[in-house]
Amino acid sequence: MARGVPLQSTQSVAPALLLEEPAPWPDDPFPLLERGSVDGIELIPWGSNYTFAARLNGADGSGCYAVYKPRRGEVPLRDFPNGTLYKREVAAYLLARCLGWDMVPPTVIRVDAPHGIGSLQLYVQPKVEPAAQFDRLRETHRCELQRMALFDLLTNNADRKGGHCLLDVRGRMWGIDHGLTFHHVPKLRTVIWDFCGEEIPRVLIDELADFRADQARVEQLCHTLRPLLAEHEIEALLQRWDRLLSMPCYPQLDPYRNVPWPPF
């Protein structure tokens, strides 16, 4: 636990995870994520880092739930720089948004949150039924998982667990928990092994190629990511991008190195 200081809940609010009705899903969540009052948070009691469910309220009566990951709640790691995981959560969202891949919930940095600076991500309420389990998603949401697997190759995701692929109550699939991404050394760990050795779908490669060929878009992306990632991490992202375009296949994975623990 960062600094050895335990983080405590403030107030008692029912976490969004426990709501029986669909959690609010604003058309534009950014005013709430960036400026909404944080009227209560409650610790989510799993995961290696401190993570909270937060209730955000707007002056106009609007509200939503968010997942709050404070910097001071990050457990130090040997291979990722201390205090950077919340930034990587935001960087993953911004990359997905720039690509037009609506697969990472809106995520921002919030300085004035109860436990200090950290990431706030719009809460995705998952379906709680067998059809939402990862093994079923592999059968029913193949295209979304192909895109997610490609996104993980781009971001060098070191922690794609089955529980990080969420089917929400509206029937959309999302990828969450991107704190262990964008390392400059290869660290891919994933449960999405279904496409090993297969060609990446042409539509996805075309989207990557069109973006990479547009220097203005590339420069804007780099400018967007610089406050969040080190320069050599951005350069490594572009190198991975170019390798995928030159060899548009999902790689064969190593069962000893490329599996997260625990996998779900």
Q: Please list the pLDDT of the chain residue by residue as tens digits (264 residues).
A: 333 334 554 443 445 444 546 788 999 999 999 999 998 899 988 778 999 999 999 999 999 999 999 999 999 999 999 999 999 999 999 999 999 999 999 999 999 999 999 999 999 988 887 766 888 898 899 999 999 999 999 999 999 999 999 999 889 999 999 999 999 999 999 999 999 999 999 999 999 999 999 999 999 999 999 999 999 999 999 999 999 999 999 999 998 888 887 776
8-state DSSP, 248: -
Q: Which residues contact 126 (CB under 8 A, 6 or more apart)?
A: 132, 166, 167, 168, 169
Give the pLDDT of residue 47.
Answer: 74
pLDDT of 128 reads: 81
Backbone angles phi, psi at 15, to 5 degrees: -60, 150
- Residues belonging to the chain: 264
Question: Cα–Cα distances in Å, from 208 out to 71, 118, 172, 178?
Answer: 32, 30, 22, 20
Interhelix angle 231-246/215-225, rounded to 10 degrees, is: 140
Look at residues 190, 99, 199 and name the one whose alpha carbon lies nearest to residue 138: 190
For residue 212, what pLDDT is reported? 98
Q: Can you give the pLDDT at residue 114? A: 94
Q: How many CB atoms lie within 10 A of CB 47?
A: 14
Q: Are 151 and 201 in contact (CB under 8 A)?
A: no
Residue type for position 179: G
Phi, psi of 165 (to 5 degrees): -110, 105
d(CA 153, CA 151): 5
Question: For position 18, what pLDDT does the model report?
Answer: 47
Structure tokens at 45: 């009691």
Residue boundaries of the structural domains of the chain = 2-246
Question: Phi-psi bin for 61: left (phi > 0), alpha (psi -120 to 50), beta?
Answer: left
Angle at 164 between CA 220 and CA 71, to 5 degrees: 65
The reported pLDDT for the residue numbered 131 is 65
Helix (H, G, I), strand (E, B) or coil at 150: helix
